Structure 1
């Protein structure tokens, strides 16, 4: 499946990439999960967008004690830093994903660069949603140029991010500022 562009334009200060630690990413995932406890309707499952969203999504699902699933979505042509998104997102739903989804489905990615990935995956999931089901989006990072802000996120940044589960960046990186609170739309 392909979703056409409903995107902003990623903002890059072109300094050096941010490099969060595993601990920072997992702490942010836990705080985002805590922020959705008690919402109505309850979170019934967490879906991680592969590959970057799978680790934080799994942690959120474990914290919330709900099923964890994955979908695959891609629109960058490579993993090279400082790329602008194409806006065309190829989505592949897993065979293990339930045919029907109810309650609040928490859709997780590591970063919301433009919002196109969340939009593409949401479109791909629409046929599986019960009438009362809702999708809530969450990302560890939100780029300042993101046109469709996720429902929850930990940091807003203006540069590339190199995650601890990716290949090491060759060159300088900058630390992520301390996490003060989870932001909500």
Structure 2
């Protein structure tokens, strides 16, 4: 287990949370996976950040036909809406994660709020990367306040996102716009 602190501030218009459908999230995961086909070095595994990154990462790994792994990272103190990130990220690498990672390791989460989670998990994985390995980050959503952008993302948002795999939100929600392309850093 490692702790890491990376500052940043999420942007919330505090209107109504976005609520993507399962289909929209799966389609975005597929498009992100398609966007990394043929990169050099090749993607050799996909790591989903628990818990929000697991479903999109599993889909990307299946699409790319590479092994799927998970890590745990947490910094939100609850699941309450419009919560600012603490910047203190606790990372737990499971015993099942390979000791040596090579090629491009695709690290996936559902949202990049500030970039702190990706930075903390990347730091925690550094000792497992061989000399030529690279980490590439991908998120379905990127909050406009994100200071450390992922390498790939589908939507930019300025409000909270309620994912279909989370506890259902009983208030008003709004749809996400139609996905037209994957953004890349």
Q: Do Structure 1 and Structure 2 share a fold, with TM-score over 0.5?
A: yes
Partner of 2:139: 139
- CA shift, 1:11, in A, is 0.2
For residues 19-168 of structure 1, the aligned pairs below 5 Å read: 19-168=19-168
- Supply the distance in 2 between the matched residues of 1:94 and 1:30 (Cα, whole angstroms): 26
**2:154 match: secondary structure:** strand
Partner of 2:4: 3
Partner of 2:18: 18
Deviations, residues 97-116 of structure 1 (Å, cap 9, x unaligned):
00000000000000000000
Deviations, residues 14-48 of structure 1 (Å, cap 9, x unaligned):
00100000000000000000000000000000000
- Supply the distance in 1 between the matched residues of 2:25 and 2:18 (Cα, whole angstroms): 12
**1:145 match: secondary structure:** coil
RMSD value, Cα: 0.4
- Supply the distance in 2 between the matched residues of 1:94 and 1:60 (Cα, whole angstroms): 20
TM-score when scaled to structure 1? 0.99
- CA shift, 1:8, in A, is 2.1
- Supply the distance in 1 between the matched residues of 2:105 and 2:67 (Cα, whole angstroms): 10
In structure 2, stretches of 5+ residues that fail to align are none
- Supply the distance in 2 between the matched residues of 1:168 and 1:116 (Cα, whole angstroms): 26
- Supply the distance in 2 between the matched residues of 1:62 and 1:171 (Cα, whole angstroms): 34
**1:70 match: secondary structure:** strand
- Supply the distance in 1 between the matched residues of 2:95 and 2:184 (Cα, whole angstroms): 31
- Supply the distance in 1 between the matched residues of 2:40 and 2:94 (Cα, whole angstroms): 27
**2:106 match: secondary structure:** strand
Deviations, residues 54-80 of structure 1 (Å, cap 9, x unaligned):
000000000000000000000000011
In structure 1, stretches of 5+ residues that fail to align are none
